[in-house]
Amino acid sequence: MKFNAKDLALLARRPSGYFDKEGKLKICRVVGDEKLIEPRERWCRLKGNLLFLMKNKSSEVSEVVILERCWVVEFRSKTDVSIVLKFQSGEPDLYLEAASKPDCESWAVALGEANSEGLQNKIQQLRRLIMEIKEERSSDEARQFLPSSQVDSLGEPQFTSIQRIANEPKLEFSLACKDLVAATRDRKLNTFIQVSVVHPAEHILTRYSSTEIVEGTRDPLFLTGVTFPPEYPIYEETKIKLTVYDVKDKSQDTVRTSVLPDHKEPRADVGRSFLGCTTFRVGDLVKSKEQQLTLTLRTSDGGKTVGTIEVNLVKMGELEDGETDHITTDAQDQKCALVRECTATEGISGKDNLPSLNAVLKNPICKLYRFPTSDNKWMRIREQMAETTLSFHVPKELINLHIKEDMRRNQELKDLGELAPHWDNMRKSVIAHCDQMLSMYQDTLAELGKHTGSSFKSSCSKGEKTLEFIPINLHLQRMHVHSPRLKDALYDVITVGAPAAHFQGFKNGGLRKLLSKFEAERRNTGYQCIYYSPENTAKAKEVLSNINHLQPLISSHADLLLNSASQHSPDSLKNSLKMLSEKTELFVHAFKDQLVRSALLALYTARPGCVLKKPAVPRNSAEEGGDVQHQDHPSHIKRQDSIPHHSEYDEEEWDRVWANVGKSLNCVIAMVDRLLEKDNVSNSKEGEKDPSAADCKVLHAGGDWYEQLYPLVITLKDCMGEVVTRAKQSMAFVLLQELACGLPQCLMLTLRRDIVFSQALAGLVCGFIIKLHTGLHDQGFLQQLHTVGLLVQYEGLLSTYSEEAGMLEDMAVGISDLQKVMFKVIEAKSEDFLPIITGRREHYVIEVQLPAKMFELLPQEIKEGKLLRMYPVLFNVGINEQQTLAERFGDTTLQENINQENLELLKEYYKLFTEKMPPDCLPHFQEQNDLKGLLENLHQNIQAKKRKNVEIMWLAATICRKLNGVRFTCCKSAKDRTSMSVTLEQCSILRDEHQLHKDFFIRALDCMRREGCRIENVLKNVKCRKYAFNMIQLMAFPKYYRPPEGTYGKADT
């Protein structure tokens, strides 16, 4: 071969950017294993298939190596930095030594791709891909030869659909490789398969998914299968490309742990190498007799065979009857489980649940595993995870209620009437602050109304102000177990970030500390206002709520009574009177409280003309209503003649006012009785008249029913109106004192509490609805629900150090506030199954709607609208490195106190359960002795104060399941620590309840953490398939809470 020396010299002196690669290498010739001379340093420049060797960067070229008919031998030793070029011609090998291992590997790749053979392989691979994409375009080209009418009749391309069951994935298959060929004989392969789809209509290759990495075998059985959801456009004509890669270092394989843009292939130098690929038509797999394809894997040029790949069609619902004895020792490094994905929400309760559940659950992800049991049978486990529309629905409903409640309160403050200047200025200040807060709620609701897209709040958004009412990363985590000899079982856990006010921060702690500090300061406040205890303030709000609820009901029933009288209907009259009497008695009973009387007295002193020379601010009193008893002397108050002095104020006047309501009702009852009796007498033709009622002035008997009842009903309404006016003003005055004593901290604490409660309530509503659906056919559970109530157990994983201590304080108060929530089940009247929320801050009722068929399954008590109580308990154990700092250098009393307080609540629930429920209502595999032992064990573990005692959480979770409770697991973001906890809980259940083979416990745990739903949750939150842990952090974690290697690393949280 002839070369022009001048042209080569000129080419070698081109600028650096012109060359494919350049740098310093030590070079010598080698014959056999002996070097002819010692390696000498040369400046090397690579362009195409020419390697220029120069003494230094500026010198003339001394040698040119043509990289044809040669191959690169790279030494795999971690310390070796040399490669050898071997030539087919037999000339001496060229030894090249780099300065570092990365530089050596980079030169090996560049030299290996430099020859024309490598270029031809790339060209052939691209040609094959182009042919695959364009091979079906011939049908489009043929259209130009058809008459226009026939072309129009073709319309869109017609493809053959895959027939599957409704709500089931269109296609699912598992993958396995055999006899893979490595680049070197001693190379142990770490392989995974990348799945790409060629859409027949678009002719575009799209990267769809990939399997996990299986290490150290040439015959990998992949755990992760491939699934196409019901809505995915896949047809028999669709082609699927399978590409097998060899990964050098699993922890460095960033391709599988990050998200790449569509249609963009990863670089070839990211720690993996191409082994082979193959393509098949979906129709070939679906129509194959054995529902299996065995395909040949070939290199990129299509020539060399590098192994085979088996594609097995998987159908949901089919059971495996085979034994597990075929597991050989050769596959010990593999997890012997089949994992595949699906997207259909499935439950044990049946298809009737789908409409109402679909209204609540969205975007489900499903994985399916099979693990061996202790008796060498297969059990199948379906793991599901779904987000919920309640993440946004519940907070928006709640904020709307807050706005209405605050607007009503502001109006009640304005309706207090004329006040003395001191109190009036106080009222103006309070209303101004309340209006600002009200505006903030309205702005937040408007922003949430604009939200579209995902129905969950990612962990990265927990600090956003517009989303502070939304729970963090709220999901249903479900495990459905099918065992060979046991009944199918369903295990649900709600995972959610700890309810906390992240936007407001934790510089001064959380709600638990802030509320305690605020109450202490308010007792000793220097404000010129009256102190009312939190219990009396809550009582005032309850009275106002009763007034707003009962007054319109009584007025309505009174009108119905008059309507019945005008129609001269005795039966209707009796029913109307009964309803009126019941509501009026409740109304009268609501004001039998010392608080109303004492608040009226305080309000009288606040009217104009009652000027206090020395304002006496009563402090806290142990007596009921004693908070508002003024201690000032009558001589301290000046008054106008028109304003009653409080020392002359008749305290019995209020008793007479509200007692008049009862007397008026008695007159109505007596008149109705008289009218009905006279009607009976006239019907029996006994003309004798009855004596008049003793307490009522009765009109002559010959009058019309309506005319005789009308003045009595008007009197009742007038009496009731006078009571309402006085009671509203007195209770509004109490609320004025509460707000004035703590501005602006009081409103800010209310806001923080509303935020935390909103997050907690969204999770609770989700958990209740899911539990109700799964327990519809369990009569024992339904009886427990309306007789005792529902246990709701929260597992916290927060540390008691730094900001997480504040989060834990927020969470503890938010969960405790759930005690004021009641549930009611109603029959849905439309296709909208979302729950309805009513009530106020001190008392909420959640109305859960069920379709008619499901509603009929409920006990009569629930169908009649009985309110269902909730019993929330929280147990927290910090497990991370921050908890280590808290245990050694900080304080863990917060965690200890929370666990001890909630243990007492759990014992109270158990006591109530045993008193009201028969023993046979416990699940069939439980006994009360088991529960007693577990409670005692839990008590001992809490008292032990052992560091990171995770057994507390295991025991609490077990007790909750045995008591038919709802399980929650929470950490800061419900992403990393929560994932470790729920996967451990799932595998523990499989071991303890379903006979998971003991040798496969760790393998099952790693499988769920590496390929299960929780790694998908991480991806949803941070767009990366890595748990946010590092090696130093994990050293502080309990053993079973550590993720498998390669699944953790740096990630935004």
Residues 941, 949 contacting (CB under 8 angstroms): yes
- Report the candidate in 849, 866, 825, 840 with the shortest Cα–Cα distance to residue 549: 840
- Report the candidate in 4, 1, 111, 10 with the shortest Cα–Cα distance to residue 61: 10
**Rounded CA gap, 547 and 720, in Å?**
10
Parallel, antiparallel or unpaired: strands 966-970 and 790-796:
parallel
CA distances 390 to 721, 787, 831, 835, Å, are 40, 27, 16, 9
Residues 598, 565 contacting (CB under 8 angstroms): no
Q: Which long-range contacts (CB under 8 A, 24 or more apart) does 314-321 make?
A: 314/172, 314/173, 314/174, 314/225, 314/338, 314/340, 315/172, 316/165, 316/168, 316/169, 316/172, 316/342, 316/344, 316/368, 319/380, 319/482, 320/370, 320/378, 320/380
Output the six-digit token pair for 690. Answer: 């009855």
Give the CB-side neighbour count of residue 89, counting CA atoms within 13 A.
Answer: 10
**Rounded CA gap, 893 and 172, in Å?**
52
Question: Which strand ranges, in their side-by-side order, compose the sheet holding 340-342?
Answer: 340-342, 361-372, 378-388, 475-482, 489-495, 966-970, 790-796, 868-876, 821-827, 843-850, 836-840
- Chain-centroid distance of CA 831 in Å reads 24
DSSP calls for 198-221: E-TTT--EEEEEE---EES-SS-B
As beta bridge partners, residue 85 has 72, 94
Q: Is 262 exposed, middle or buried (0-12, 13-18, 19+ CB in 10 A)?
A: exposed
Q: Report the largest interatomic distance among the alpha carbons of the chain, rounded to a whole angstrom.
A: 143
CA distances 273 to 261, 269, 575, Å, are 20, 8, 84
Output the six-digit token pair for 980. Answer: 């470790």
The contacts of residue 351 (CB under 8 Å, 6+ apart) are: none
**Rounded CA gap, 245 and 441, in Å?**
54
CB atoms within 10 A of CB 34: 6
Output the six-digit token pair for 646. Answer: 């409080």
Q: What is the CA radius of gyration of the chain?
A: 39
Catalytic residue among 336, 610, 971, 1007: 971
**Rounded CA gap, 693 and 772, in Å?**
54
CB atoms within 10 A of CB 410: 17
> In a 3-state reduction of DSSP, which class is residue 663?
helix
Helix (H) and strand (E) counts for the chain?
Answer: 28, 30
Question: Is residue 971 annotated as part of the catalytic site, yes or no?
Answer: yes
The secondary structure element, H or E, covering residue 62 is: strand 61-66
Output the six-digit token pair for 230. Answer: 């019901």
Residues annotated as catalytic are: 971
